[in-house]
Structure formats: structure tokens, C-alpha cells
Structure 1
């Protein structure tokens, strides 16, 4: 290693770097394990692809914005109902509590609220199986229509009157179609004075007016429609569809969400989302009302069933009472009135009680026989109780046989009358009670909160959507930056270049913002800008070109001539920038330098010094002028320029001539260093011709610009022509601060103090 005048450490030709390192991804040194990327390398990759990251982030944000614009807003409405423990009725009858039952579990009530039977009534009530919407322009029409506000109709742009642009509406009260038109969109065209024309998939179907039935029949199709209101420009179309009732119920069943607020609270919340805020509120309200109505009907139906059974028993009980009373009257007319003894009266009372209980048990068994089988525990318990009462009745009857005959007959007749009268009055009282219960049933459900029309959509939310879009864009950008770094085989590390080509890197020239400013000033003002080496000698790029001067000094020690060719694989590498500034720093070191513009096709070195293109190489080779006239001085001491001259039609022939070789040989004797700026090696053959005339070949490369295969091909092309590349210059290295050491080469600014 050695140092130049600025103190910058540079590598000698052929020297291996002290700490070779691989790039972050995919290009580890051969023969060694792949190095793990450091945090600094990862940051460098992201910074290098910052425009890619920002571009993808902007794309994703734009996509998110387009999604917000095109996506129809979704509104949510809910209704809260309470399922109570017991029904509130006018009377509380202990006898009916078992028959009317207790409150079902909340899970069962939630399933009932989402049942098909309940939802079918909602669909029929609101006509949800009929969909009617304005026909909008494809893709963006619906979004544009949503932006319209106010009662007036939006103007149709570009004469597109057939589409709706905001404010249009249609109300279809009834729509009946044949089976082949179910789920088929029908186009309804609105004409002048409310005229309507219904178009089907195969042509016109019906014609009519708003406010009157619209009917159309054919061999296979049938349409019956009633439109109560239509607001639109003449010529505007609407799309009306009759959906299958079962499909609408299924979609509604999947869309309705019923949950319990809290655990075992009996507070149920039914929620629904839809694009129309008014319709979604109407649907959940209708759902709650239908559920409340069903609950009341279910509970009143239980009381009605018991009432119907008891009413059916009243005629027979009344007939039995009449028969018993008639038998008593007949007996008294024949035998007269008989006074019963205390024992007979006691047996009569007991017999009446037993018969009454038996009759009630029989009524209960008859009522419960529709619900339970004979093996049910309730039915078996009633049967056992009935058997005990029959045994008691048989025992009483056996004791009554000991009574005198006249007293026995009178006791039996009195018993029949009393039993029949008690049973008839008991059933009649229960019938009256059940009638009160049926008329006063309010159910076990009440609506706590009705649905309100939502004003703000639940989705999409602009802030979360844009935040997620930005995050996805940044992630995609970072991933793309890493992928590009892993897949592209460009050279940005001197170690890679040296390993791939065997050519030592003499210097790494960092990117110079000051040079960018000088170029912009020249383009903006149209005037010559000074060289960077003259305008800012302490610039970091110039310091590294000075290190190149030192390396070039050692390379020229054993060289047969002092002609140095500066070349590169292709155009746009900064080759001319390196050539003119290297010439300046060589001249500043008390050396006479001749800068030759050997690019006879696109050479522009004369612009850097404010000179004209002619005269130059073309005129000198053609012997039109002498070397004293062709070689012109510059504003910088000890630095002369030989420009291209006029652009010849045959530059390769001129450069391959003996005359050009003698010109270079003469210049080599008159100057300390001759810098020959050649055309790109891979572009034209001119560069190879000129490189053969030089003793030292410098290859200018641009960091992050060349694939390694391109650099290797350039070195191979030169080697095939017997030309050895002595060193490379890695130009325009984008590195700042800590990132400057990413390639194993370090750049430090060390400016001189200003004079007092």
C-alpha cells in the first residue's frame, strides 16, 4: 500500500484488498462461505433503491385511493331486543305455567331470529327479491354518481344520456316474471312523459307508463311490473332484476349476524351490512318486528290450543250436568226428598272430591297426549295418581252398599249432580281465564333499540386503507430493492471487479454533487464551466483522482512510452470527466500534459475548455495543418488539448494510419504524459486501435452500471488484441458517511484550513 499527496490510501497494481467482502446477496467470494449481510449493507441497498421504494409506495397509495373511489360504501345498522324470562299477562295462572312453558335459551332465540320462515316474511314485506338500480357507465360511473349531491339530476357528460350520473331513482312496487327470466337483468328505458320500455336478454318485452301496470307476454316469457315512481332524463336506463326468493333468503341468512350482548343477559343484537343506508335500517327493523310478532303468536297459540280443547269439552260436561239434574228431579218426584245421614253426607263429599280429581286428571292426560307418549314420566305419574283415586272411589262405593237402598240411591244421584256441576264450572272458569290470557299475551320479547339510518359507512375507511396501502407499498419496494440487488449482476464493489477480471482497481471516485452543479450551470447558461479540479480542488472526487495520479506514476515507471489510454466498455461512464480532471491534476504536479480526444465519432473534450472542435486530429492526420496549429493551449498551465477536429466518415481508417502513430510518438517525446481519451471498447473498433498505441491502459467503470460479464468481456476483447489492462477506475460511487466503506475502500474529507 502507498499514499498519494492527499494522504489517501490507494491500492497498488496487482495488490489484493486487505478485507475482501461480498455484496449483500448472491455474490460471495469464490471458495469461501457466503457472508451474512450487515445492517449497513441492508440500509445501503434500501437507500440505493429509494426511488424504487418511493415509486412502489406511490403506486400502492394510488391503488388504495382508486379502491376508495370505486368501492361502494358499506353501511351497518343494528337492532337490540330483549328476551324476558316470563311473559307479562293480565293474570298469572299457576295451572297454565307448565302448559305455556319457560323462556328458551338465548342460542335458540338467535337461531329463531335467523330462521328461514322469519326471513321469508321480511323478504316478502320489503320486496327484497326485486333489485332496481340505475345503469351507470362501466367502472367509474357508479363512483361518479355517488359524488353527486342535491335533488337535481347530474348532467350527462359527452352526451352519454343512456347512463345515470347522479340523482336518478326508480321505485318498482311489483315485479313478476316467468322462470326463464329469474336472475336475468332487465333493462328499463325511461322515455318522455314517463313512458317505459322493458328490454330482456332477447329483445323488447313490454311497454307502459309510470304509475300503471306494465305487462308483456309471449310464448315462453311473462313480465308483470308496476313502477310507482321514476326520476331520470329521457333515455336513461335502469337495471331491474327479479331474484329467486330462496336465494335472497339464503344471502340474507348469511348476512344477518345475531349475537348476545353479555353472557346470559337475554339481550340480542341483530346486525346487517348493505350498500343502501335506508334499506339496511328498514331490513333490521322489519326483522325485529317479525321476530316480536312471531314470539307473540307462538305464545298465544299455546293458550289457544288449550282453550280449544277445553271448549270442546264444555258441551259434553254441560250435557252430563243436565242428565244428572234430570235424574235427581225424576227420583224426587217418585220417592220424595230423602235426608242423608252424616255418614252418607261424608261419603258423598268424599266421592265428589275423588270424581272431580279424576276428571281433572283425565283432562290433563287428554291435553298432554298430543305432546308425550304413554311412557313419558309425566304421563306415567298421572296414570299412577289416577289409579290411586280409582281405588279410593272403589272403597267408598263398597262402603256405600251398607247404606239403606233409598238413602243409597239418593246419595248416588246427589253425587252425580255435584260432580257434574263442579267439573262444568271448573272447565268454564278455565276457559274464561284462557280467553283473557290469549287476548292479553305480549310475548317474552321486546324491542329495546330500533334501527337508525346510518350516515357514515363502516367500510371502506380511508385512513386505514391508505395506511395499509402505504405499508404494503413500502414493503413491496424494499422487497423489490433487495430482489433487484440479488438478481442484477452489476459491479459496485472493487473486490468483485478484481476477482472477476484480475484487473486491480487504482481508485474509486465518489459521486460529486459539486460536479453535478457545474454541469447544470453550463447547460443553463450555455457558458463554459470550470473543471471540478480547478473549481474545487479539495472535492473528494478530485482527491481520489490524485490517488489515481500516484498509481499512474508507478505504472509509467516501467512503461516504454508515456501514452496513457483511458477507455471503458460503453458510453456514459464519466470517462471524459476522469480524463480532463486527471490531466489537470497531472499538470498541477509540474508535468506537461497533452490531452488527446481520440473519439472521432462523438468526442466533446473541447467543450470542457471552451474551445472549438476544429482543428484537431482529423486535420492533423490528413496533413491539412501542422501540429503547432492543431494542438491548442488551455486556460490551465502545462495542459494542452488535441481535439477531434471535424467528424470524419472513416474514423477507424484515420486512427489505424501510420500518420496517427507518428503523431502520438512525437507527442510522447514533447510531453511528460499523453492522455488518450478513446471511444468505448465494446461499441466500436476505434478504441482497440488506439489502445494498441498506448503503454498504459486505464479502464473507467461506473459503479452500479456494468454487469460483471460486460467488464470481463471488455478485458477479454482487449486481451485478444494483445492489450493488457493495467488498472481500473471505479467512477461515480454513490456512498456517503458510514456507507462509504461498504466496498472495503474508505473515503475521508481532509480539507486545508483557510488562510486568515
Structure 2
């Protein structure tokens, strides 16, 4: 008989997002579909964050606050004329660079012996450091729990006053052990004794190097710990230590133009952090003071060289003026001439001072320095004013001009010599008592709490990182799987009508859990909860089945799929039940002789099954078993797995079995193996009138569905339709659901018959 294709009307689902677009619903579904993996990754990151917070060595931060007085001049007022020009005000950025300089950090390293790292070498594995940090008191030495006194449990201290090793031992470990109270010994890694002594004693010991014997030294100022405690010492070169400690040092201005510097140093030892930060502050203050003292010394040296020449010039100018007065018998001068004399003398004095300051500045700085440029600008202005006064003097009579010039020389030289002599005397005092323009406002104190790790920040970072990694992972898995999730997507890929969309059933999940918990067979959902949404979907499939069989040669219906775990057995069992309660005689055949599934729904006696019937050891009549449902019979897969299921299905006896069953029953429903793993389903499908492929949401991929249809078509099997199983409408934002169930007292089979009438 000729079969006619049936066109079905699809529900009005919203169109899915285009394949090249990223849908937020798809992203969310990738998370919910892999929520265990998603939560596991986040949990793993949180666990790592917790472990890090507990076991990571703490880092302590010590802070120092420094004030830089940008406008400070000499404390001696008589020096103001010279010091105002020689005082070099540094920008605060320059002060920050000085704090990070090798000169400052190197002095701090020498003061604190920070070039040598010290660690306790005999802690208890894993938990020893944690015990020493959390449970073990700092002082005195922590008692050993459970009598494990061969380990160090906290409170051990070692402080070096002097430790000098040859460069060949830089970066190599040496070990100092406590032999008795106040006594120690120093060994190499291989146990070779290098030195021994007492606390406070300076010990020199020879070390053989490639260049000869090196005289090494060590002095301990503090040593605490029970005998047997072992310290690991590692000394580094000054340069490498500076580079390492610079990374732990942070220097910055507190606020813009505040002249306040905040310095922070981080270390694993809180005492070392405070001591090293204070040592940097002390070295910086000392360097600043030495620099300003050197400025005063250079100024004094410069003035000392100029004073003899100025004195000689003063004496000569006085002699010239006296000779002129005697020769011209001039004693008094006019008021105008005296005013010009005073003005000219003042200008020449200022110009000379500027010249001296400019010469001193050039001796310290290059010609592009701001101070040099400022002095040059002052010199140009004074020269212009001197030219103006000189033009006024040229208008005087010759006698007054000569007198004015001679008198001016005397006045200027007298004032210059007197001022510079006084400043020279003041600079001698200033050189001995110079103070810097920086001061430490707050010295560092040993921090009580660790600056890092901070558990809230660590856990928040672990949560963010874990969520991000988990999100990326599940999205990659979702994209690689290419699972089908949307009904229209399924129909578009398969180009086959979609007969039913079976939603996810919470009731079926409950039945499966109860079956595993009680060790019983799985109850049919269609019988225990006939109003479940998934059963309603199968009823719609039952209503369209007779149209799918129009023109068919038989009434044999096959349910198969691409792989295992798609819900073929669930669909076959419940669909058969719905046909049976509708008054039709139904035979459901378990054709999966390799992995039987119908036996979980329909337990049968060990009278044989499909395998035995095809093998000819049991007749079909004896193998068919009744069920608890009227009109519903089952043919199990068999008592045991045959060695050749494919060969059995290819025998003529299988076709004969289907013809006999088709004649005896209104419908024959076959639950077959999957198509892709084995060839059994293709062989069975060639004997059936209607073939339905079960596709499961988030399980079946587009590639699997396409390959399944291609295999069946190559065997000249036409797929009648698709059953989309496990669909969660709310998850994809379709906005519809099944919010109803059967509440009538009318028997379900009567209600089903009435619907079809």
C-alpha cells in the first residue's frame, strides 16, 4: 500500500537566535546543563582560596611618614642674601627617587643585615609553619606538642650583627644549629663544620675559594630556640638584594603638593619590616643633612677664595679716592651727585652679589639648571638699570663724574667686603650645625596584623576567578557538544516533521529514585500520574499515529534514537500504555537484546523472549507475557544476551514474527537499540511501517541526528517523525508550560476514548 506524507502543524514557538549570534538564554542554559561542573569549578577555586588564606606565609607592612620642607633656608639670618640664591629646592619627585636610590637602600641593608635571609629549617611538614604562626607563641619558645621536640614549633629567633661570606657562597645555603643555650655551630649543606661559638662573640673562620683563603666573620646578637633548632641562612650580593627589596618598597606622595611622603615596606618578618623601614628613613635623613652640609662647605670655600681679592680692591679704591680729594681739594658733593652715588653703588653691589652667586651655582650645576637661569635673568635686569644710571652720571660735570666714580668704588667695595666677611663667619657656624630639610613624622612600628593575605579579598578573588573560569569552561563544552536544545532547531537540522515535544518530567524523576531506593521495578508514569505534561505530549502523538500509518502495510511502530539515554524506552512503554487504555490491543517488543530496558517497566517470567523466539527454542505464543494493563502484552528481549543479535534479526523468522504479531494486535510497538552504536536498529526499521526518532534535549547533537537519518535513508528507511524529549520550556524563555492536571474521578481510559471520539 502506498504511504502518504502527513503535514503536521507545529506550535508557535519563538524563533531561536541565529547561529552566528550569542543568545543569553543559550549561555544560561550551558550553565544549568553543566551546573555540577560549574559549581565544582567554583568550589575548587574557593577551596584553593581558603587553603591559600590559611597556609600562605603572611606579609607584614610597616609605614613611615616623612615631611619635606621645600622652603627651608638657613637658620642664620645674616646668610639670607647668599643662602637664598644657593638654596636648591628639589621637587618632591626627586625626593621619591632618592628614597629608592642605591645609596639609601644600601645603607639600610648594611644596618639591618637584610642581605641575609633567615628561615627555620626544621619545621614540622605542612602544618609546622601554620602552628608556629597561629598557635605557637612568639616568646618564649613554643612547647613541642606530642613530644615532637626535634621540630621547631614557634618563637625561634636569630639576629645577626655581622655576617661576611665570600661571593662564591652568595645564594648558597648555610645552616646554623643551636647546640646548647647561647651556643651554636655553622655548617654547609653537606654537614661540613664551618664555625662555632657563643652569642655575642665575633667568630672569624677561613673559607677556601678559587682566589685563596677568605676570612669570613659572623656575630650573633640574639639566639633563641631549643637545642637542635636549625636555621637556614642565605646571603646575597648587595646589588641583588637592592633589586629584590625595591619591589617590596613603595614610596609615594600622600596628596598632591602636600610635601608629605608615605613610605611602606613589606616583609614576612614584622620586626624586619619595621627595622628596615626605619633604617631607610634614617639613611635618607642623614643623606639629606650631609648634602646640605656639603652645600654650606662649598659656599664657605668659595667665599674664602673671594675675600682677599675684595679686601685688596677695597684698599685700592680708598687710596684712589684720597689722592683725588687731595689733588682737587674736593670735600663735599652736591645732593644730586650723592643720590646718583647711592643708587649706582647699590646696583653695583647687587650685580656683584649676583655674579658671585652665579659663579658658585655654575660650579655646582650646569648652565641649564633653573637656578643658573634665574641668576642670569637677575644679572640682565641689574645691568639694564646700571646703564640707565650711567647715562645720568655722564651728564654731570667732569669733576663730579670722577669723584662719583671713585666714591662709588669705595662704597661698593666696603659694603661687599663687610657683607661677605659676615657671611663667611656665619657659614663656618652653619657648616658645623647644618640641619636637613626633611624630618620623620612617624617612625615605623612592628605591625601586629598581616597585610596579606586578606581572607575576604582572597575569597572574593577566588569566587570571581572561579566563576569566570567555570563560565568559560561550560560555554566551551556547550559549543563543542553542539547539543540540540530547541524544537525548531531540531526540525531544521533533521528536515523531518516533529510529532511531539515531551517536556521534562519531575514525576518520572521521582519514580526512578523510588525504584532505585526500594529496589523495585519502575512504575509507568502514564499510570501513576496520567496528567503529567510529558504524558499529555505522548497523547498528542497517539492522536496523530493513525495518520502516520495511513497507507502503511502494517501497524508496526519503531522508537529508536542516535545513542543511549535518550528516553526511547520511556517513550515506548508509556506510549504503549496509552494505546492500550484506549481500547487497542498492543504488543510492545523489547528489541534491544544487548541492553534491555523494558524489563524495568514490565517484569516477565523467565519463559524466554525475542532472542529465544528468533533462535527457535521458544514459540511466540509462549514468549508473549501479559501485563497488569488490559490489552497490553510484552515480548521481552530474552533470558540472556545472545552472541549474535544482528544475525538473529536478519533471519526470516523476525519478519514472520512481526507479521504474526501485526495480525494479532492493533499496534506493535518496538523499543530498539540506538542507531549509531550497532546496526540492529537499521535492520528492525526496514520491517516497520512507522519509524520515530527520539531526540533528547542537551544530549543529542546535530551531527548525531544527521548521521542517524543518513544511515536509515541509506537503508531505504524513511523516518516518519521526531519525538523531542526532555525539553524544558521555561529554561529557554518560551513562557508556556503545563499548569494543569486531570482531577476528574472519571477513569483515565474513558476520558482518553472520549477525547478521540
TM category, shorter: 0.7 to 0.9
Report matched runs for 1:419-568 at 5 Å: 437=430, 441-568=434-561
Counterpart-to-counterpart distance in 1, 2:355 and 2:115:
47
Q: Structure 1 residues 685 and 260, CA, compared in 2 at 3 Å: closer, same or farther? A: closer
Counterpart-to-counterpart distance in 2, 1:47 and 1:397:
102
Counterpart-to-counterpart distance in 2, 1:727 and 1:424:
117
Partner of 1:177: 165
Cα distance, 1:526 vs structure 2 = 1.9
Matched-pair contact (CA < 8 Å) for 1:606–1:613: no
Matched-pair contact (CA < 8 Å) for 2:289–2:434: yes
Partner of 1:79: 64
The equivalent position to 1:687 in structure 2, one of 675, 681, 684, is: 681
2:606 is the alignment partner of 1:584: no
Give secondary structure in 2 for the equivalent of 1:269. Answer: strand
Cα distance, 1:210 vs structure 2 = 4.4
2:114 is the alignment partner of 1:120: no
Q: Structure 1 residues 614 and 236, CA, compared in 2 at 3 Å: closer, same or farther? A: farther
Q: Structure 1 residues 428 and 48, CA, compared in 2 at 3 Å: closer, same or farther? A: closer
2:175 is the alignment partner of 1:198: no
Q: Structure 1 residues 431 and 588, CA, compared in 2 at 3 Å: closer, same or farther? A: same
Partner of 2:624: 631
Counterpart-to-counterpart distance in 1, 2:642 and 2:149:
61
Q: Structure 1 residues 553 and 747, CA, compared in 2 at 3 Å: closer, same or farther? A: farther
Q: Structure 1 residues 190 and 740, CA, compared in 2 at 3 Å: closer, same or farther? A: farther
Give secondary structure in 1 for the equivalent of 2:192. Answer: strand
2:698 is the alignment partner of 1:704: yes
The equivalent position to 2:672 in structure 1, one of 659, 675, 678, is: 678
Counterpart-to-counterpart distance in 1, 2:486 and 2:355:
99
2:136 is the alignment partner of 1:149: yes
The equivalent position to 1:215 in structure 2, one of 185, 196, 205, is: 205
Alignment RMSD: 4.9
Partner of 2:266: 273
User: Cα deviation per residue 1:405-443 (whole Å; 9 max; x = unaligned)?
Assistant: xxxxxxxxxx9xxx99x9999999877755654555444
Cα distance, 1:263 vs structure 2 = 4.3
Q: Structure 1 residues 157 and 714, CA, compared in 2 at 3 Å: closer, same or farther? A: farther
Counterpart-to-counterpart distance in 1, 2:495 and 2:403:
128
Cα distance, 1:635 vs structure 2 = 1.5
Cα distance, 1:206 vs structure 2 = 1.1
Point out the more displaced range, 509-518 or 229-238.
229-238
Counterpart-to-counterpart distance in 1, 2:125 and 2:529:
61
Q: Structure 1 residues 157 and 176, CA, compared in 2 at 3 Å: closer, same or farther? A: farther
Matched-pair contact (CA < 8 Å) for 1:89–1:440: no
Partner of 1:612: 605
Give secondary structure in 1 for the equivalent of 2:733. Answer: helix
Cα distance, 1:581 vs structure 2 = 0.3
Q: Structure 1 residues 90 and 15, CA, compared in 2 at 3 Å: closer, same or farther? A: same
The equivalent position to 1:289 in structure 2, one of 282, 287, 305, is: 282
Cα distance, 1:447 vs structure 2 = 2.5
Matched-pair contact (CA < 8 Å) for 2:173–2:188: no
Q: Structure 1 residues 592 and 553, CA, compared in 2 at 3 Å: closer, same or farther? A: same
Which runs of 5 or more structure 1 residues have no equivalent in the other structure?
Answer: 1-11, 29-33, 319-342, 348-357, 400-414
User: Cα deviation per residue 1:282-312 (whole Å; 9 max; x = unaligned)?
Assistant: 2222222333334444444555566678899
User: Cα deviation per residue 1:151-188 (whole Å; 9 max; x = unaligned)?
Assistant: 444759998968x6644432222121222223334344
Counterpart-to-counterpart distance in 2, 1:140 and 1:658:
74
Counterpart-to-counterpart distance in 2, 1:424 and 1:731:
110
Cα distance, 1:101 vs structure 2 = 3.3
Counterpart-to-counterpart distance in 1, 2:15 and 2:657:
45
Cα distance, 1:264 vs structure 2 = 3.9
The equivalent position to 2:657 in structure 1, one of 654, 663, 668, is: 663
Cα distance, 1:514 vs structure 2 = 0.6
Cα distance, 1:586 vs structure 2 = 0.3
Point out the more displaced range, 675-684 or 92-101.
92-101
Partner of 1:335: none
Give secondary structure in 2 for the equivalent of 1:635. Answer: coil
TM-score (norm 2): 0.75
Q: Structure 1 residues 236 and 723, CA, compared in 2 at 3 Å: closer, same or farther? A: farther
Q: Structure 1 residues 713 and 96, CA, compared in 2 at 3 Å: closer, same or farther? A: closer
Q: Structure 1 residues 508 and 262, CA, compared in 2 at 3 Å: closer, same or farther? A: closer
Q: Structure 1 residues 297 and 540, CA, compared in 2 at 3 Å: closer, same or farther? A: same
TM-score (norm 1): 0.75
Counterpart-to-counterpart distance in 2, 1:236 and 1:529:
68
Partner of 1:751: 741
User: Cα deviation per residue 1:258-279 (whole Å; 9 max; x = unaligned)?
Assistant: 4344444433333333333222
Counterpart-to-counterpart distance in 2, 1:398 and 1:129:
68
Partner of 1:101: 87
Cα distance, 1:536 vs structure 2 = 0.5
Cα distance, 1:638 vs structure 2 = 1.5
Counterpart-to-counterpart distance in 1, 2:623 and 2:204:
97
